[in-house]
Amino acid sequence: MNSTKDTFSWEYSFPIEESWNIENEFAKWLLPRLQLFSEQTMLLPPATSPKVLRDKFGNEHAHKLWIKYLKEMLFAFIYYAEDYKYLKYPKYDAVIERRISRGIHLFAKFFQHLCIDE
């Protein structure tokens, strides 16, 4: 087995192996941060939900929708962080894949709103 010295990229300051599976490494990095963000968001007043949602749905409904979207994002990143993609659940594959895809799309769509000081 290679030592850390042999596999660490001093140029980029992370282990080279992390570049071999970016989806998994990014998900593992993001997941605890997104979980904490989601927990903090649930404690905040509805007026702190993304403006784009508040303008369309009003404060209360926007806040509930924002929390729902965050849960969908979390589901997707848990899937990638835990390498669940290598496990097969034939009966649920299509349903799970749609939910994961939705979570990733929501993450991309609302990426600029993943801040509390909005």
Confidence of residue 1 (pLDDT cuts 50, 70, 90): very low
Residue-wise pLDDT tens digits, 51-70: 999 999 999 999 999 999 99
* 8 beta partners: 15
Global confidence as pTM? 0.82
CB count, 10 Å around CB of 82?
Answer: 14
Above 60 in pLDDT, residue 5? no
Q: Cα–Cα distance between 99 and 102 in angstroms, integer?
A: 5
| Identity of the amino acid at 40 | Q
CB count, 10 Å around CB of 47?
Answer: 12
Above 90 in pLDDT, residue 39? yes
Q: Strand, coil or helix: what is 29? A: helix
> Which pLDDT value is given to residue 94?
82
